[in-house]
Chain A
Amino acid sequence: MNDCRMTKERMILALYGELDPAEKERLDAHLRSCPDCASEYASLEAALRLMDRRERPDPGPAFWEGYWDRLSKRMLWESIENGRRPSPAGRLARAFSRLPRWSLQAAAAAALLLVGILVGGRLIPRPGAPGPETAAAGPSSAIAAPSPAVVQAENFIDRSKVLLLGLVNFDPAVEDAYALDLARTKAVSRELLTEAADVRRGLSQPGQRRLRDLVAELEVIMLQIANLESGQDLEGVELVKQGVDSKSLFLKIDLDRMSRAGGGAALPPAPGGVGSSNKSRV
């Protein structure tokens, strides 16, 4: 009986060609003299032949072609989640590579317009405002370092923008369903949502009102994303896109970033929104 039990282990090794010749010889001799083991050997062989016919479902060419893009997006998410941002060049390259051509043209036009407004605002003195000479003679013309609350808000806005870019640039008409990792998008939006209230509370200074409004608008969009149906809720995604578009969120985000880079100019007033009566330089 013990011989038979040991033989069963040797049978499997023999079927995979991993039994040395002497052992194989002994096994063959045993199988010739033991009908039970011979039957067992045939049964094992039949099972392995069936396993030879096993097929693994091929996810299809669209899946493989989009694999790298999805992996890249995930790497980007994780770098954002971990607070380790990719290099500015890498970020720009990734963001611009996903933008449609028209949006680049619109962004370029908006940038030119803003530069014109900023330059014009500095060169042409407003009535009652000190002239360039007066300004130069002031206590300091250096730009103050942003407060921790503003840095936190900018971080929140940057991460929200990356998330929204992935969603807005997803086109179900030309991309496969796997190009959009909706589950991950929702997970990141939930994380952003948990931070949003803190970020808003930190922006309590009067001059931070527009930044606070922008964070609040992003918070609403994040809530919409977090509440998307599980699976591929393309209808819900379309509604989010429309919300982003109607609120001109990308334009506001870009203007916010550019105004800060340009020395503290405020966001343009939200059309009809809170603070639209606040007179701004822009």
Chain B
Amino acid sequence: MDESAIIEGMARGEERAFRELVERYKKKVYYLSLDMAGNPVDAEDISQEVFLKVYRSFATFRRGAKLGSWLYRVTYNAAIDHLRRKGAAPEPVADEVLELRSQDGAGLPRSRAADPVAAAEESELQARIAKALEKVSPQERAVFLLRHNEDLMLKDIAETLGLSIGSVKSYLFRAVRKLQKELCGAAPVAGLEAPHE
């Protein structure tokens, strides 16, 4: 089923089209939720919330728009709402969750399993990266990850998230500078204004 068939099917309220949409986008939505919330339990909750919103309010989807971009926007808004409701910064992943997720090798890169030294170094690096990302606000993190991981152009991120291009740039600059400070010990962020959106 191609994207236009999914859109047509969704407009007709077909469950098959909805299921196809979920299967196709569940990983993207889940991982953006995970990036924003910081823990897998909230990430699944947010990602389900996103699909429920999509199911309930597909009528608001603008024909001609990209389904993926719309889903990113819904995910971004759902994650921000979720974090606001919780009134807290992203939580670190609980030990029991990590333990649960690592069963059957889930969550661990298999290639490093045979080399404990490399695994320990890599694990330390991943911990540093995770800690660095915790210093970045959810909005900054969303912009940064859409640019860095999903390779979206800044103008597309602005359109997707409903922000001005200036705000997107500002979020990106701040995110990169904070990450640089945490990972490479650079000087504190200076001269970059917070966006007003």
Contacts and interface: CB of A to CB of B under 8 A. Distances in A.
Interface magnitude class on chain A = 35 or more
B106 A54 contact: no
A56 B22 contact: no
Contacts of A67: 22, 26, 30
Contacts of A53: 125, 129
Interface in A219-267: 231
Which of B35, B96, B101: most chain A CB closer than 10 A? B101
B106 A43 contact: no
Nearest to A9: B173
Interface magnitude class on chain B = 35 or more
B135 interface: no
Given A47-B179, A50-B183, A71-B51, A63 B153 contact: no
B190 to A, nearest CB: 8
A92 interface: no
Contact of B101 (A15, A48, A54, A60): A60
A58 B27 CA distance: 10
Given A9-B169, A16-B147, A75-B52, A43 B180 contact: yes
A217 interface: no
B114 interface: no
Q: Report whether over half of chain A's contact residues are helix, strand or loop; otherwise say mixed.
A: helix
A47 B183 contact: yes
Contact of A58 (B106, B126, B129, B147): B106
A44 B169 CA distance: 16
Contacts of B30: 59, 67
Interface string A40-68: 10011011101101111111111110011
B180 A75 contact: no
B31 interface: yes
B109 interface: yes
B131 to A, nearest CB: 12
Nearest to A177: B100
B66 interface: no
Given A5-B191, A78-B52, A40 B186 contact: yes
Contacts of A56: 31, 34-35
B176 A12 contact: yes
Contact of A63 (B55, B106, B169): B106
Nearest to A2: B191
A52 B96 CA distance: 27
Contact of A51 (B55, B98, B179): B179
B103 A9 contact: no
Which of A62, A63, A68: most chain B CB closer than 10 A? A63
B192 interface: yes
Nearest to B180: A47
A54 to B, nearest CB: 5
Interface of A: 5, 8-9, 12-13, 15-16, 18, 40, 43-44, 46-48, 50-51, 53-64, 67-68, 70-71, 74-75, 78, 177-178, 231
| Across the A-B interface, the 6 shortest Cβ-Cβ residue pairs | A60-B106, A57-B107, A47-B180, A5-B191, A47-B183, A54-B129
Given A53-B125, A68-B22, 5 more contacts: A9-B169, A16-B147, A48-B179, A50-B125, A54-B129
